[in-house]
Structure 1
Amino acid sequence: MSFNVTIRPSGRQFQVDAGEPVLSAALRHGVGLPYGCKNGACGSCKGRVIEGAVEQAAHSSSALANDEKTRGFALFCCAQATSDLEIEIREIAGVGDMPAKKLPCRVSALERAADDVMIVRLQLPANERLQYLAGQYLEFILKDGKRRAYSIATAPHAEGLLELHIRHLPGGQFTDHVFSAMKARDMLRFEGPLGTFFLREDSDKPIVLLASGTGFAPIKAIVEQAIYKKITRPIALYWGARTRPDLYLEALGAQWTTELPNFRFIPVLSEPTPQDTWDGRTGFVHHAVIADLPDLSAYQVYACGAPVMVESAQRDFTANHGLPAEEFYADAFTSEADLVNAV
């Protein structure tokens, strides 16, 4: 059995099979709906059910609150249709042009960038090239079928290796392996590209790039793509971390100020130590944006990193500082732990 889905306001239609998440069906038909984690943790795929009914699978309460459900909202990554549907959600142009595929890869190099950050470089087969948009991610497919998602830190135009920035989560099945046992020439398998976090090049608005921790990875790809394409829109990159070693590529951010016109780099530490010899900005990284740009009504914001940072920035920027809701683009780095309190 299958059901018809109509998207508003575009009027575009596709079919979803019984038991299939609405998002999965949309992607299968080349329809670009916004999404991030695909497991009910981040909220990127949230939309409203105008007509029809869905069965909502377990999800994080921070991604979809009970009062939102009563107002007709759903997370389409884990919502299954039980009738024909009419839904309201913003479509993303361009994503369907680069369908995800499953590929083998070989670990080419591992570089410890910080105590808890590993830069992993991957080599694809000689006859393969991954087409993707700067900011998108891939998912490793583990031997037990589980998946782990990591943003691609390499700009799409670059030839050669794919770069990932992997933070160690102690007790994490995959990251424990990365930091203790993974070695060059190991074989892995992944699916990509995935996600709808990428620079909208059809706008001339100034850009705020907001990263925390290894949320810097997709931001790196976006900046390097902007340099390659000679984008002249004003760009301000705010990178937040606890201590200075956590700014594991701080020198690269400073280097970009000489390579890209109208580019500013603002690193921010929340817990600097005396050993950091830090005389830069301190506090929450999104507060630094507000201090510099109290009126965001004419901006686009791209935020990537810890869910609490992304959620706080979205709330404060749109509610109190004029940012149009449709100009906030985000990729929250969720993990299995983010679904502990699933509802």
Structure 2
Amino acid sequence: MKTVTINPGNVSFQVNDEETILSAALKNGLVVPYGCKDGACGSCKAKITAGEVDYGTYQKRALSEFEKKTQSILLCTAKPITDVAITANLLSVAKEYQPKKLPCRVENVKKVTDDIAIIYLKLPANQKFSFLPGQYIDILLEGDKRRSYSMANAPREDNLIELHVKHNPGGLFTDSIFGFKSESKVEIKEKKILRLEGPLGTFYFRKNSDKNIIFLASGTGIGPIKAIIENLALENLQYNIFLYWGVRKPKDLYLSQNIESWSKKITKFTYIPVVSEASVEDNWKGRTGFVHHALMEDHNSLVGYNVYACGSPLMVNAAFDDLTKKLNLGEKNFFSDAFTIAADINK
């Protein structure tokens, strides 16, 4: 057993052998920024200031060799070899948002495009499930497998959770939803009982800020952003909100009606859809190209803004690099949730 100390704050906790620093921190009620929990997104990056760690297995895009040489680690894969001190941002999250496991029932499966479905899960009426809009859950499957999906709604009185799921061919979870045969025994249909764990992740709205907001989404990354915006629509907002949503084809803009309703509820709300692969047949007359490039075309500086980005790791990483280096966005003003699909392959 090793001791890990987080600074600033000088907060220490114990880490068992073969346990990651992130896992031990969460077990001790300490929340640091994190996302995928499997070394793919880079959200849990921290600096090691003393001691030695086993870096674990991770994707190179999440932690570069340069970052590794400058003492950066991923808390979700790093295991302490000695007692360790790290620099990380400890978040204040109420106990009611601590993760727990509970059953749920598939209430409805609604296919909104040929490869995107909205799944509604019903939670037990006698078990309170509190979460922050933008967080995600893990669907627990046989053989200790799990699949992560962001919740696409703010907390509801009817105990429903909404998930936006894109078909990933060969996916352990998604093949069943779209009627494809799979070697797995996973079957997703109405009234099916599943188990979940949540809430998870640190992608949620920071209320202690008066900065203008830019939401940047690609594909089904609109889901958790939808949850945040629906919650914000209930409040008397005094700052500008911009939503940039990037998709491949116009047909993939499956939330157009919802977004129109947000425009009526939020006074200073601007919506910019961006299509990357529009054809002549699509007759698309809106913005084209990469979604974060559209943002950069519209803004000369992001000083005074918070940016919330959600979607593919390629988009999230490119947006972070370009917005912080070219538009003066502070690194601490960029909040992200990178969707990783490798974990959804049936192995």
Bin the TM-score by the shorter chain: over 0.9
User: What is the CA–CA distance in structure 1 between the aligned matches of 2:343 and 2:123, rounded to whole Å?
Assistant: 31
**1:146-157 to 2 correspondences below 5 Å:** 146-157=145-156
The SS at the match of 1:114 is coil
**1:286-325 to 2 correspondences below 5 Å:** 286-325=292-331
Q: For 1:129-155, what per-residue CA distance to the aligned partner results, in whole angstroms no more than 9, with x for missing partners?
A: 310001000000111211100000010
The SS at the match of 1:225 is helix
Q: Is the 8 A contact 2:110 2:118 kept in 1?
A: yes
1:81 corresponds in structure 2 to 80
Which amino acid is the alignment partner of residue 153 of structure 1? A
1:69 corresponds in structure 2 to 68
The reply on whether 1:267 has 2:266 as its aligned counterpart is no
User: What is the CA–CA distance in structure 2 between the aligned matches of 1:179 and 1:242, rounded to whole Å?
Assistant: 20
The reply on whether 1:182 has 2:188 as its aligned counterpart is yes
User: What is the CA–CA distance in structure 1 between the aligned matches of 2:117 and 2:74, rounded to whole Å?
Assistant: 32
Identity across the alignment (%):
46
Which amino acid is the alignment partner of residue 66 of structure 2? D
What TM-score do you get using the length of structure 1 for normalisation?
Answer: 0.95
Q: For 1:250-309, what per-residue CA distance to the aligned partner results, in whole angstroms no more than 9, with x for missing partners?
A: 221122111112111111111112333221111110011111112001100000001100
Q: Is the 8 A contact 1:206 1:299 kept in 2?
A: yes
Q: Is the 8 A contact 2:96 2:130 kept in 1?
A: no
Query: Residue 239 of structure 1: CA displacement?
Result: 0.4
Correspondence for 2:226 among 206, 212, 220: 220
User: What is the CA–CA distance in structure 2 between the aligned matches of 1:337 and 1:189, rounded to whole Å?
Assistant: 18
5+ residue gaps, structure 1, are: none
Which amino acid is the alignment partner of residue 105 of structure 2? R
User: What is the CA–CA distance in structure 2 between the aligned matches of 1:36 and 1:272, rounded to whole Å?
Assistant: 31
1:231 corresponds in structure 2 to 237
User: What is the CA–CA distance in structure 2 between the aligned matches of 1:257 and 1:124, rounded to whole Å?
Assistant: 30
Q: Is the 8 A contact 1:165 1:214 kept in 2?
A: yes
Which amino acid is the alignment partner of residue 62 of structure 1? R
Which amino acid is the alignment partner of residue 71 of structure 2? G
Q: How many residues align?
A: 338
1:142 corresponds in structure 2 to 141
Which amino acid is the alignment partner of residue 260 of structure 2? A
Query: Residue 231 of structure 1: CA displacement?
Result: 2.9
User: What is the CA–CA distance in structure 2 between the aligned matches of 1:272 and 1:95, rounded to whole Å?
Assistant: 44
Correspondence for 1:194 among 174, 191, 200: 200
User: What is the CA–CA distance in structure 1 between the aligned matches of 2:146 and 2:327, rounded to whole Å?
Assistant: 37
The SS at the match of 1:163 is strand
User: What is the CA–CA distance in structure 1 between the aligned matches of 2:74 and 2:64, rounded to whole Å?
Assistant: 10
User: What is the CA–CA distance in structure 1 between the aligned matches of 2:285 and 2:264, rounded to whole Å?
Assistant: 21
The reply on whether 1:22 has 2:28 as its aligned counterpart is no
* Deviates most, 14-23 or 186-195: 14-23
5+ residue gaps, structure 2, are: 180-186
* Deviates most, 275-284 or 318-327: 275-284
User: What is the CA–CA distance in structure 2 between the aligned matches of 1:147 and 1:188, rounded to whole Å?
Assistant: 11
* Deviates most, 62-71 or 184-193: 62-71
The SS at the match of 2:14 is strand
* Deviates most, 124-133 or 160-169: 124-133
Q: Is the 8 A contact 1:95 1:196 kept in 2?
A: no
Q: Is the 8 A contact 1:49 1:88 kept in 2?
A: yes
Cα RMSD (Å) of the superposition?
Answer: 1.5
Which amino acid is the alignment partner of residue 51 of structure 1? A
Inter-CA distance 188–331: structure 2 relative to 1 (3 Å threshold): same
